[in-house]
Amino acid sequence: MLEKLESLEEKYEELTGLLSQAEVISDQSRLQKYAKAHSDLSEIVDIYRQYKSVLKQSDDGKQMLQEEQDEDFKQMLVEEMQVLQEKKTFLEQKLKVLLLPTDPNDEKSVIMEIRAGTGGDEAALFAGDLFRMYSRYAELQGWKIDIMDTHYTDIGGIKEIIFEIDGQGAYSKMKYESGVHRVQRIPSTESGGRIHTSAATVAVLPEAEEVEVEIDPNELRIDVYCSSGPGGQSVNTTQSAVRVTHVPTGVVVTCQDEKSQHKNKAKALRVLRARLKELSEKEHNAEMAGTRKSQVGSGDRSERIRTYNFPQGRVSDHRINLTLHKLDTILEGQMEEIISALTAHYQAELMKQVD
């Protein structure tokens, strides 16, 4: 580990020198490239330098302990050594996390899809609650939401919604949300006061660049039609809604939220690109299944991951056995405690693989 860290520090110092050179400053492309690489290394180099300082202080303290005769001063040195040992352990752990293999998608924006599952109208209302929760969380993170396609029910629930969360690092935080979300509550339509269980599925896809997924226009079938609202009634007399079918894979994407056919087509292609990227990665990962236990990011949409229990005011994440009695605040977007716990859990699992 120390050899790796030493080489990273050398690289960091090399980049620091390059960033001050006139020929680099005058070349915007090189300047941005070196500046990003320098920024990416800054945290781990800073922690490594703190770690080296603690090691030196510990070595100096051991030397002083051997030479010191005054018992009171020796006791003070022992206490300082204990503090340094705790700091050393903390910094070692942090360095191990920073050295873990990174998910190349982590810094990307995401395209999310929420669909009502079992439970009829109640499931659709819950899907709406999930969208509101993610929207509030994105707002707290300073990210932007762009709705791409929505299908509502007559009572205001959401059958399906596709939206983009645009923000650096969005995928690193949202990738653990893929799966089945279950709700337990008394529906507004329930006269007998019985608790019902409904579900909605969430998919989180890292947004794919054009260079990552090349789409042959000859392999697309594009249909246009009038967009529809709750109950299927037409809400637009012009054919602005777009359905794009990728013939080789059978993947179908529809977008109707924009009034412009051109804008809907552009959004549909962005969603299609993300889905094809996910499909390609799943095929690749299946081939490497034996060596890919650590890649947990995308999640299985069919896996039940979380339960939102309204009568008890609790949220339980079944993957990490975490239960929080903070249902109201979580649904208002205060999700950081869950996301941090999931990140820490999967980082620990990844460290087991590396060790």
Distance CA 181, CA 49 (A): 43
Section 303-322 average pLDDT: 94
Please report which helix (H) or strand (E) contains residue 285, including its range: helix 261-287
DSSP code of residue 228 = B
Distance CA 35, CA 15 (A): 8
Report pLDDT for 286: 64
Percent of the chain with pLDDT over 70: 89
Across the chain, mean pLDDT equals 85
Give the tokens for residue 237.
């007399």
Report pLDDT for 97: 78
Q: Is 331 exposed, middle or buried (0-12, 13-18, 19+ CB in 10 A)?
A: middle
Give the tokens for residue 26.
């005058």
Report pLDDT for 297: 40
Give the closest residue to 99 by CA, choosing from 33, 8, 170: 8
Give the closest residue to 204 by CA, choosing from 121, 105, 291, 288: 105
Report pLDDT for 193: 78
Give the tokens for residue 118.
């079992």
Q: Give the other-Cβ count within 10 Å of 110's Cβ.
A: 26
Contact 258, 147 (CB under 8 A): no
Measured at the CA of 40, the angle between CA 37 and CA 42, to 5 degrees, comes to 105
Bridge partners of 255, per DSSP, are 242
Reported confidence tier of residue 129, pLDDT bands at 50, 70, 90: very high
Report pLDDT for 208: 84
The label of the residue with tokens 């599952």 reads 117
**Over the range 163-197, which residues count as b (16 or more CB within 10 Å of their CB) and which as e?**
bbbbbeebbbbbbbbbbbbbbebebeeeeeeeebe
DSSP code of residue 234 = B
Give the closest residue to 176 by CA, choosing from 343, 350, 352, 333: 343
Give the tokens for residue 248.
């080789």
Report pLDDT for 298: 41
Give the closest residue to 239 by CA, choosing from 208, 261, 270, 217: 261
Residue 136 identity (one-letter amino acid): R
Residue 251 identity (one-letter amino acid): V
The label of the residue with tokens 């070595």 reads 59
Contact 119, 196 (CB under 8 A): yes
Section 235-258 average pLDDT: 81
Distance CA 5, CA 28 (A): 29
30-46 tens-digit pLDDT: 898 899 889 888 989 99
Give the closest residue to 342 by CA, choosing from 308, 309, 299, 312: 299
- Chain centroid offset of residue 24 CA: 34
Give the tokens for residue 196.
């019902």
Reported confidence tier of residue 294, pLDDT bands at 50, 70, 90: very low
Highest mean pLDDT among 11-15, 70-74, 101-105, 309-313: 309-313
Least confident of 68-72, 149-153, 198-202: 68-72
